[in-house]
Structure 1
Amino acid sequence: MSSFLTPAAPRVLAHRGLSIGAPENTMMAFIAAVDVGATFLETDAHATADGVAVLAHDPGLDRVAGRDVVIEQTLWKDLAEIDLGQGERVPGLREALLALPDAKWNIDLKSDASVVPTVRAVVEAKAVDRVLLTSFSERRRRQAERLLPEVATSASQAIVLRALAAQRLGLRGQLARILAPVVALQVPRRAKGIEIISERSVAAFQRAGVEVHVWTINDPAEMSELLAMGVDGIVTDRCDLALPLIA
């Protein structure tokens, strides 16, 4: 089994690093998060045209760099030349894993093309035990798990929906079976007006064998509320505010 979820919860997951004064999902942002004490970094993976796993949330660079560049249509050598601000570039996953060897990485597989390059980068960096792979797509999650059976994964959208239904109906045995393939349920506090996180639901998910991580929470008062409910992790843009609460 992966040792990703150690030490014991609660834990803070730095969402795209710490982007105060740094472009998101860049080495500057990840290093800033580590410098304030974060040990878990949340990020996103895409693949370049030549099959290199890189860290970026969007499929293109229009939002973060004002450039009409699609990652999957761009060679890694050309992508690496684009300035995201303050001299920062889109990081390669393998290089990021090697640069911060003590950090644990929660990686969202953002495209079908990203799965194989991400797995390859994790293996090459010898980082399987400090990586959790996730995706809204159950197909991507399963593919990653098949390629790397020992890696930790968190629930896809399909698993989340089935788990919510089983929890609401009080089907404990079914809930445990639904969540058996994953180590964590990573969800918003509420979605489409429906409350997902409560003291009761957190306890039910934990009894079923998974940690509960809530995203994306930036208000310290709300962080405290969620910690009081017993959640295992806070995914946040403000790890600098969350870490003192955990401490």
Structure 2
Amino acid sequence: MTRHPYLSPAPPRVLAHRGLVTAHDATLGVVENSFAAVAGAHAAGVEYVESDCHLTADGVVVLFHDDDLDRVAGDPRKISDVRLPELEELMADRGGLVTLPQALEAFPDVRFNLDVKAEAAAEPVGRLIAPHAARVLVTSFSDDRRRVALAAAVTAGASLPPATSPGSATVGRLVAAQALGLRRRVERLLGGLDALQIPERQGPIRVVTRGLVRAAHAAGVEVHVWTVNDPADMERLLDLGVDGLVTDHADLALAVVNGR
């Protein structure tokens, strides 16, 4: 199986979860998914930045996790109800808002892992990433949103489909099939995927197992685990064979990976 260019060179990979906000950055008011957070990850030497996509009231794709501004800015409004200029003003002293086009243009050597959070954002995300498909992975908790974004990228002229990781429904079916020993079903569910981005556990259920990692690798699919912030957990998961660590502490994870 040909490896997607997003997944070169060889693993392990460190994916900066919503960028990188150090303790010092936080004292300055910098928040996740801001321009400063992406720049901080880049400055630390991180090649992969995980982020999230929403659509503003005036149709601009922005990097933002929540569907509202409450947690980040103390404003209860939805991202979809706020126009870009006002959102930029709200984020000005929080590290700066970053739109998806700005992120792709300002950081040409960063590979972006984009989680499509809003249905309305899926098609615009696909169009915007089309020229950058070799360095973008598209995912979403919704497989429908993910597929819309992938199709939009191809329709917009992407030279190859972006890399992709499945939604939560597919992951659930995959974990169940693996637990039941349904090898052919596992193979079918892994078909068309480039990475399997999953938590180590979901409640009482262990998601990441040695058997699942082996099955993914046999299908040419990488396994990336989120969100891993403890160095001991990083070491243990890398020993298990996982290919990527999605982490809030990308600088720490880089030290762990480079020290192996």
Match of 1:153 in 2: 164
2:4–2:194 Cα contact (<8 Å) kept: no
1:239 and 2:250 correspond: yes
Cα distance between partner residues in 2 of 1:83 and 1:46: 15
Match of 1:96 among 94, 97, 103: 103
Offset of 1:28 from its aligned partner?
Answer: 0.7
Cα distance between partner residues in 2 of 1:170 and 1:9: 27
Q: After superposition, give the CA deviation of every residue in 1:85-142 in whole Å (9 maximum; x if it has no partner).
A: 34x332111011100000000000001011122122223xx21111101000011111
Match of 2:11 among 9, 13, 16: 9
For 1:59, the aligned partner's letter is D
For 1:215, the aligned partner's letter is W
Match of 1:143 in 2: 148
Q: After superposition, give the CA deviation of every residue in 1:125-176 in whole Å (9 maximum; x if it has no partner).
A: x211111010000111111122224111101111101111221122222211
1:190/1:233 Cα in 2 relative to 1: closer, same or farther (>3 Å)?
A: same
Cα distance between partner residues in 1 of 2:99 and 2:11: 29
2:127–2:152 Cα contact (<8 Å) kept: no
Match of 1:177 in 2: 188
Unaligned residue ranges in structure 1 (runs of 5+): none
1:14–1:237 Cα contact (<8 Å) kept: yes
Q: How does 1:44-63 map to 2 (within 5 A)?
A: 44-63=52-71
Q: How does 1:11-30 map to 2 (within 5 A)?
A: 11-20=13-22, 21=25, 22-30=30-38
Aligned length: 244
Match of 2:115 among 96, 108, 116: 108
Match of 1:214 in 2: 225
- Could you say which structure has the higher helix fraction? 2
1:18–1:29 Cα contact (<8 Å) kept: yes
Match of 1:131 in 2: 136
- Between 1:165-174 and 1:38-47, the stretch displaced more is 165-174
After TM superposition, the score normalised by the length of structure 1 is 0.94
Of all paired residues, the percent bearing the same amino acid is 45
Cα distance between partner residues in 2 of 1:102 and 1:35: 12
1:33 and 2:41 correspond: yes
After TM superposition, the score normalised by the length of structure 2 is 0.90
4+ long deviations beyond 4 Å:
none
Q: After superposition, give the CA deviation of every residue in 1:5-45 in whole Å (9 maximum; x if it has no partner).
A: 11111100000011111311011111111111100000000
Q: Secondary structure at the residue paired with 1:91?
A: coil
Q: Secondary structure at the residue paired with 2:5?
A: coil
2:53–2:114 Cα contact (<8 Å) kept: yes
1:80 and 2:85 correspond: no
Q: Secondary structure at the residue paired with 1:214?
A: strand
Q: Secondary structure at the residue paired with 1:69?
A: strand
